[in-house]
A and B are shown apart, each in its own frame.
Chain A
Amino acid sequence: MQRLKLFLPLLVFIILAAVFFGVERRVQSGDYAPTDLPSALIDKPLPEFSEPSLSDGRIIDKAQIVGEMFLLNVWATWCPTCHFEHPFLLQLAAAGMNIVSVDYKDDADGAKRWLAQKGDPYSLTLFDEDGSFGLDLGVTGAPETYLVDADGIVRFRYQGALDQRVWDKEFVPRIDALSNQGAAQ
């Protein structure tokens, strides 16, 4: 028994090594990102806002976009990951997903050019020049994507680029659950 006690530090080391190795693997496979913050908005209503539309400058408020489930995508032309994400958003929009976007702390002309050149997956783009709506959303950077339900409640927030894998894993189950709930009511 006394001899076994000598191996206690080794045992502790092995357990810790296994834990760290497991976390590191999850980081590498993309299941866990230590830099991601839990959003303070989950299950809370989308904050009130009134921001100009990028295309024609008319002021849009919350009541005009809430009504059916939609995605709220935060992007900017200065954000390299947004370039990467853009084709997938076009694909989602083509499949019938309603995506509203926030052009976050950007230059209006550059943003218009971007949408003209790369295609516009958004049903509406809000132009948040000074980042005030971004602040209300708790945005820490771009891209970020919020899933907002028919009642205007934020159900999920994803930090980083959307792709097919993230979409299937994180969004599809939640969207299915929300649609089932809606159907049951």
Chain B
Amino acid sequence: MKSVWLCLALMLFSVGAAAVIETYQFDTPLQQKRYHAFIEELRCPKCQNQNLSGSDSAISKDLRRQIHQMIMDDKSDIEITQYMVARYGDFILYRPRFSGQTAVLWLAPIALLMLGLLVWWRMASGRKSKLVVNDAPLSSDEQARLQELLADDGAAAKPGEKR
């Protein structure tokens, strides 16, 4: 039993989740926090979808070194972001600025949500109008037919009981 628990516990640790290990020295915990925020939020330009902290490529190493350098030089967050965007464009930001080029990225989810709501609303209203039709009172012919059917049903149920 113990070994099963050990196995389960080990499964919680994945090799892939261990981010790159580099030892950078910081003067304050805040600097370290900013560094980690940057390498999580910036995207490796060489890779298709990895942030700087997860990538082992040479360019990510250089960029991490550069971010560390700029943080130690007391550059502001805006200055560091501008530095990166000036070199690698909006691609490097996982949350790109809103511009003509990135408008589709930002607006598409809202547009799709609107479309979905529209379809849903139209389908729901269609269903509702059908229900209203069924609520209309029966005509006298229909009443007579209904009585007939109910009477038939009652007659047919009795022989069933004998079986």
Q: Quick check: is A24 within 8 A (CB to CB) of the other chain?
A: no
List residues of A (101-149) whose CB comes within 8 Å of B's CBs: 105, 131, 134-141
Residues of A within 8 A of B62 (CB): 131, 134-135
Q: Quick check: is A35 within 8 A (CB to CB) of the other chain?
A: yes
Select the residue from B63, B85, B91 with max chain A CB neighbours within 10 A: B91
Given contacts A35-B48, A140-B45, A141-B46, contact A40 B58 (CB under 8 A): no
* B interface residues, how many (CB within 8 angstroms): 14
> A131 CA to B62 CA in the complex, in Å?
8
> A141 CA to B89 CA in the complex, in Å?
16
> A40 CA to B89 CA in the complex, in Å?
5
Choose among A34, A40, A136, A141 the residue that contacts B48 (Cβ–Cβ < 8 A): A34
Q: Quick check: is B66 within 8 A (CB to CB) of the other chain?
A: yes
Choose among B63, B85, B86, B91 the residue that contacts A37 (Cβ–Cβ < 8 A): B91
Q: Quick check: is B98 within 8 A (CB to CB) of the other chain?
A: no
Interface string of A132-175 (1 = CB under 8 A from B): 00111111110000000000000000000000000000000000
Query: Are B46 and A38 in touch, CB under 8 angstroms?
Result: no
Q: Quick check: is B162 within 8 A (CB to CB) of the other chain?
A: no
Residues of A within 8 A of B144 (CB): none
Choose among A34, A35, A37, A134 the residue that contacts B89 (Cβ–Cβ < 8 A): A37
Query: Are B87 and A141 in touch, CB under 8 angstroms?
Result: no
Interface of B is mostly: helix
Residues of A within 8 A of B88 (CB): 37, 40, 138, 140
Given contacts A34-B48, A35-B48, A141-B46, contact A40 B86 (CB under 8 A): yes
Query: Are B89 and A140 in touch, CB under 8 angstroms?
Result: no
Interface of A is mostly: loop
Interface string of B22-61 (1 = CB under 8 A from A): 0000000000000000000000011010000000001100
Q: Quick check: is A53 within 8 A (CB to CB) of the other chain?
A: no
Other than A40-B87, A140-B45, give 14 A-B pairs with Cβ distance below 8 A: A38-B89, A38-B91, A39-B89, A40-B85, A40-B88, A41-B87, A105-B58, A134-B62, A135-B62, A135-B63, A135-B87, A136-B87, A140-B88, A141-B58
A–B pairs, 27, beta carbons within 8 Å: A34-B48, A37-B45, A37-B88, A37-B89, A37-B91, A38-B89, A38-B91, A39-B89, A40-B86, A40-B89, A105-B58, A131-B58, A135-B62, A135-B66, A135-B87, A136-B87, A137-B87, A138-B87, A138-B88, A138-B89, A140-B45, A140-B46, A140-B59, A140-B88, A141-B46, A141-B58, A141-B59
Q: Which residues of A contact B (CB under 8 A)?
A: 34-35, 37-41, 105, 131, 134-141
